[in-house]
Structure 1
Amino acid sequence: MCANNLDELFRDGLKQTYYTEQQLVDALEEMERQSSEEAIQTAFSEHRSETQEHIDRIETVFEMMDEQPEAKTDNAVKGLIEDHEKFLTHDPDQHVLDRYNIAAGQKSEHYEIAAYGNLIPIAARLGMDDAADLLEQNLREEQDALDELSGIGEAFDYGQVPSG
């Protein structure tokens, strides 16, 4: 779909973000299971819970617009997931898999931060201040998750990953 106005652009972006969050709930659970380090497992587990809350908030935004929640495939997210699946077919060493998963988590957080960072001002411009506030909560949690993963990644690279 090609958006012809800000309302359509917002709705389309919201649908893609809804898709993203739904896909990442499953991906985070898989990466948690794959990780050998407790700190990595905990980070993915906690963010999976937050991601479910993000889905709930997005569903609330759809309700505010008197629409049923609808997901629209986001090819960037689909590509990240496909890359992860392809990586796994090479049966990587556990240490390499842990580091790959940290990087994959960071990539998805950056992407989500960009998505929310674009949706929020559009919602505000459309006079949807309550929706913008809900999306802002998601954005802050994505930024916190990125910060946590970045810290874990740095510690991991120096062999100093904390145990939870």
Structure 2
Amino acid sequence: MCANNLDELFEDGLKHVYYAEQQLVDATEELAESTTDDELAEAFAEHHEETKEQVERLESVFEEIDATPEAEPDHAVDGLIENHEDFVNQDPDDHVLDRFNIAAGQKSEHYEIAAYGNLIPLADQLGIDVADTLEATLREEQDALDELSAFGEEFDYGQIDE
């Protein structure tokens, strides 16, 4: 779809982030299940639950703008998920997979932060009263990125066999 005005651009952006969140509900569950580090797996499981709430929050934004919640496929999200599936299918060492999962999570958080970071000022500019709702999700995504970054900084590379 080609947006011809800012209202359409906002709605198109919502559709893309709605798709992303829906896909990431499954992806965060997969990350939690494929991670062997208990603390990291728990972080992914918690974000899985949070992501389901984010989907519901986006549905309320669609309702607020009198639009039907609709997901628009996003090649960036599909690529992140496909990249993870390809890596997992190579049957890496568990510890290597844990480190890869941290990076995969960080990549998706960066994508979501960019998406919400663009939608919020657009909503404000259009006078759509949903910025607080979107900002709540943006804060959660930033917190998730910070948590994953801390895991990455503390990762024990000594366990990886060369």
The TM-score with structure 2 as length reference comes to 0.95
The superposition leaves residues 99-158 of structure 1 with CA deviations (integer Å, 9 ceiling, x where unpaired) of 0000000000000000000000001111012x1110000000000000000001111146
Q: Distance in 1 between matches of 2:19 and 2:151?
A: 27
Who is 1:133 aligned against? 132
| Residues paired across the two proteins, number | 159
Identity %: 67
Q: Work out whether residues 10 and 123 of structure 1, in 8 Å CA contact, stay in contact via their aligned partners in 2.
A: yes
Give the aligned residue type for 2:136. Q
Who is 2:148 aligned against? 149
Residue 57 of structure 1 aligns to a residue whose secondary structure is helix
Q: Distance in 2 between matches of 1:36 and 1:84?
A: 16
Q: 1:96 to 1:158 in 2, by over 3 A?
A: closer
The superposition leaves residues 21-72 of structure 1 with CA deviations (integer Å, 9 ceiling, x where unpaired) of 0000100001101111111111101111111111111000000111211000
- Which runs of 5 or more residues in structure 1 are unaligned? 160-164
Aligned pair 1:32/2:27, yes or no? no
Who is 1:13 aligned against? 13
The TM-score with structure 1 as length reference comes to 0.94
- Which runs of 5 or more residues in structure 2 are unaligned? none
Q: Distance in 1 between matches of 2:78 and 2:157?
A: 31
Residue 148 of structure 1 aligns to a residue whose secondary structure is helix
Who is 1:162 aligned against? none
Equivalent residues in 2 for 1:52-91, closer than 5 Å: 52-91=52-91
Q: Distance in 2 between matches of 1:61 and 1:42?
A: 29
Q: Which has the higher contact order (CA 8 A, sep 6+)?
A: 1
Segments of 4+ moved more than 3 angstroms: none
